[in-house]
Structure formats: structure tokens, C-alpha cells
């Protein structure tokens, strides 16, 4: 049971909910950038929420199926076709053996999740099938899909869920977005003015935006509080003694362009971080295209936890809708 990759698209990888537990060795959790969309796609085709699916960036792949399967596409607005026939997003549809699944051009968002009944059955690495490309770990031979690959599928479950995600539970990203940030970490290294500017300025997603991190441009450069650089830190005021980086943490190398680390984060390094995007907004980043306008919004821990509870509520409603 498998499908054949006729055309891989731009960058299509196998992802599940990731491999926590190895960040202390520099191996990030990886997994779907938009975890909510991955869960939705899996539930639609009768898979466990955390089954491995495909994450396709900006462009869809072209896949030929060897077996009958149920497929769902969520996340980015990337219209699917089966042998040329269009199928709606966030909705389960059948693909029969011998048919070809393909995609139109991207209409919105950045990453589409393609779940297939039975889930993708590549061998797990350190407890997960997620692809960590830099470390050549997991997924399909530790790399993105390529033309000619035969990707194995698991045995579909006997149960079926609802077949369509209600409109209100689908998320898309428009031309602009807000990312909520809890200030902290090395915040104290920047001046009060730089801290104010960071939240006041309009930023745009830079072309360097990938699974490791998203870079932003357009705001004013950062200024630093004067200090003598501590031993081992390096001479630039944005340097620190190499330390761990939280997922979602925001570093500003050289004080110019903030980078928000994502699922394939480097686990540490020598640039100061000024805080982190809250967990509730991480999925959103995965759906932002380059040039998306962004404002960073300051929140405190209470607000961060409230937002997290809202996200959990949305996920509970999704599960209920598809039960």
C-alpha cells in the first residue's frame, strides 16, 4: 500500500506531531508547523489525530495512488483535484487506485496538510515520523519527497468521522496578522525605546521563512543598553554566551531583523532573545506567506494562558464536530 510521487511540489515533507525529548541534544521536535490543520486533516480521514501526513509548502505535489483511500486537505488554500476533478478543502474525499491527486495554485496560507486514510507509514525515528531535514532524520529517508518516491501507507482504521470541518472551525491567514508575544529572556538588553518600537512598528514576513524560523523586516533597528560584553559572549551587543532557544523565541541578530524560531528550531546559539511568541499563535506563523504584514502584540502570562485555553476549546469543538 503506497502512493507514488509524480511531482513533489516545492517542499513536501512527512510530518506528524513531532518528537519531543531530544532538544537537549540539538534535535528539535519538528512536526507540522500548523498542528491544528494536521489534526483536522487526520480526523477527516479517520486517522488518529497525530498520524503522519504530508506538509506541502506553497505548491502541492502530484501523487498517484496504488490503493483506494480517503484524503483530506486542510491548512493553506491549495485546491485539490482527483484526475482533474476539483474537491473542496477541509472535506474528506475518495481517491481510487490508479487515480492522480494534484493541486491548483495556492490561493491563501502557506502550508497545506494532506492526510490519507491509514496515515503515512515510513519508519519512525526517535518516536516520530516527522522529517527533520537538517539532521536527515525521520520522514522519507530523512528528506523532502522527490519524484519517483514510493511512500508507504498504513492500514486504514475501521471507523469514520464526520466528513467536513464546519466553516467556523477553519482558519485562514489574510494579508496581515497579529502575533502575541510574552516579553522576557534577554529583553533587558534592549533600550526602552527599542522595546516600544518593536510593538509599534509594522513588520513583514521576509523571504527567509522556513521550518526553522521566520524572519521579519520593516521595523526600526534595535538599540541596546550600554554594557560591557560578558566573557565568552562575543563583541556585538546582540551576542550572549550561547544559550538555549525556546520554540517561538525571538532573536534579533545584529539588532536588525527579528527571527521567530519554529518547529525545526536550532536549540541554542549566541544571539539574545527578547521573548517568545505564545504557544497559541505558533500554528498561525506556519500559514504566513512572505510579505504578510505582522504586528507583534505584547501580552502577559495570564493572557497567554487564556489564549492557550481558547485554542484548546477550538480543538475540542473540532473533535466534537468530527466525532
Beta strands in 144-211 (DSSP E): 150-152, 176-183, 203-209
Least separation in angstroms between residue 62's CB and another protein is 28
The residue from 142, 154, 157, 290 that contacts another protein (CB under 8 A) is 142
**Piece of the chain touching another protein by CB under 8 A; list 6-14, 88-96, 101-109, 132-140:** 132-140
Does 134 engage in binding with another protein (CB under 8 A)? yes
Distance CA(63)–CA(167), nearest Å, equals 27
Does 313 engage in binding with another protein (CB under 8 A)? no
Least separation in angstroms between residue 260's CB and another protein is 10
**Piece of the chain touching another protein by CB under 8 A; list 35-43, 102-110, 145-153, 181-189:** 181-189
Does 169 engage in binding with another protein (CB under 8 A)? no
Does 207 engage in binding with another protein (CB under 8 A)? no
Least separation in angstroms between residue 318's CB and another protein is 17
**Piece of the chain touching another protein by CB under 8 A; list 81-89, 168-176, 177-185, 287-295:** 177-185
Beta strands in the chain (DSSP E): 2-7, 12-15, 53-57, 62-65, 69-77, 80-82, 85-87, 93-95, 100-103, 108-116, 150-152, 176-183, 203-209, 213-217, 239-244, 249-251, 259-261, 268-271, 273-277, 293-298
Chain center to CA of 133: 14
Distance CA(104)–CA(81), nearest Å, equals 8
Least separation in angstroms between residue 230's CB and another protein is 4
Residues 252-281 that bind another protein (CB under 8 A): 253, 266-270, 273, 275-280
Distance CA(78)–CA(275), nearest Å, equals 33
The residue from 301, 313, 316, 320 that contacts another protein (CB under 8 A) is 301
Distance CA(92)–CA(124), nearest Å, equals 26
Find the Cα–Cα–Cα–Cα dihedral 128, 133, 134, 136, rounded to 10°: 70
Distance CA(7)–CA(259), nearest Å, equals 31
The residue from 87, 161, 308, 314 that contacts another protein (CB under 8 A) is 308
Does 128 engage in binding with another protein (CB under 8 A)? no
The alpha-helical segments, DSSP class H, found in the chain are 35-44, 192-200, 282-286, 301-321
Does 316 engage in binding with another protein (CB under 8 A)? no
Least separation in angstroms between residue 302's CB and another protein is 10
Q: Which residues on adjacent β-strands are paired with residue 244?
A: 268
Does 239 engage in binding with another protein (CB under 8 A)? yes
The residue from 86, 123, 174, 230 that contacts another protein (CB under 8 A) is 230
Does 284 engage in binding with another protein (CB under 8 A)? no
Q: Which residues on adjacent β-strands are paired with residue 65?
A: 3
Angle at 53 between CA 47 and CA 56, to 5 degrees: 145
Dump the DSSP string for 286-299: HTPPTT-EEEEEE-
Least separation in angstroms between residue 257's CB and another protein is 12
Which residues sit at the interface with another protein, rule CB under 8 A? 20-21, 23-27, 125, 132, 134-137, 142, 182, 184-185, 187, 230-236, 239-249, 253, 266-270, 273, 275-280, 301, 304-305, 308, 312
Amino acid at each position: 500500500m503506497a502512493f507514488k510521487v509524480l511531482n513533489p511540489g516545492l517542499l513536501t515533507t512527512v510530518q506528524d506531531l513531532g518528537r519531543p525529548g531530544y532538544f537537549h541534544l540539538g534535535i528539535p521536535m519538528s512536526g507540522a508547523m500548523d498542528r491544528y490543520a494536521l489534526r483536522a486533516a487526520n480526523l477527516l480521514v479517520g486517522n488518529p489525530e497525530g498520524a503522519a501526513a504530508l506538509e506541502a509548502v506553497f505548491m502541492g505535489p502530484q501523487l498517484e495512488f496504488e490503493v483506494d483511500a480517503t484524503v483530506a486537505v486542510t491548512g493553506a488554500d491549495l485546491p485539490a483535484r482527483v484526475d482533474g476533478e476539483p474537491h473542496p478543502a477541509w472535506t474528506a474525499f475518495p481517491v481510487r487506485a490508479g487515480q492522480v491527486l494534484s493541486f491548483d495554485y495556492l490561493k491563501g496560507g502557506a502550508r497545506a496538510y494532506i492526510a490519507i486514510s491509514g496515515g503515512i507509514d515510513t519508519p519512525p525515528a526517535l518516536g516520530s515520523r516527522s522529517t527533520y531535514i537538517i539532521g536527515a532524520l525521520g520522514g522519507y529517508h530523512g528528506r523532502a519527497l522527490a519524484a519517483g518516491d514510493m511512500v508507504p501507507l498504513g492500514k486504514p482504521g475501521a471507523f469514520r468521522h464526520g466528513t467536513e470541518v464546519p466553516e467556523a472551525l477553519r482558519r485562514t491567514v489574510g494579508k496581515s496578522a497579529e502575533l502575541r508575544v510574552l516579553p522576557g529572556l534577554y529583553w533587558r538588553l534592549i533600550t526602552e525605546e527599542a522595546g516600544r518600537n518593536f510593538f509599534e512598528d509594522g513588520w513583514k514576513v521576509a523571504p527567509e521563512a522556513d521550518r526553522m524560523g521566520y524572519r521579519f523586516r520593516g521595523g526600526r533597528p534595535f538599540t541596546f543598553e550600554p554594557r560591557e560584553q560578558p566573557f565568552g559572549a562575543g563583541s556585538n551587543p546582540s551576542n550572549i554566551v550561547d544559550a538555549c532557544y525556546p520554540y517561538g523565541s525571538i532573536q534579533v541578530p545584529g539588532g536588525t531583523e527579528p527571527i521567530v524560531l519554529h518547529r525545526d528550531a536550532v536549540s541554542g546559539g549566541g544571539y539574545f532573545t527578547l521573548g517568545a511568541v505564545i504557544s497559541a499563535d505558533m500554528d498561525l506563523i506556519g500559514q504566513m506567506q512572505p510579505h504578510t504584514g505582522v504586528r507583534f502584540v505584547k501580552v502577559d502570562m495570564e493572557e497567554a494562558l487564556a489564549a492557550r485555553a481558547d485554542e484548546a476549546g477550538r480543538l475540542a469543538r473540532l473533535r466534537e464536530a468530527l466525532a
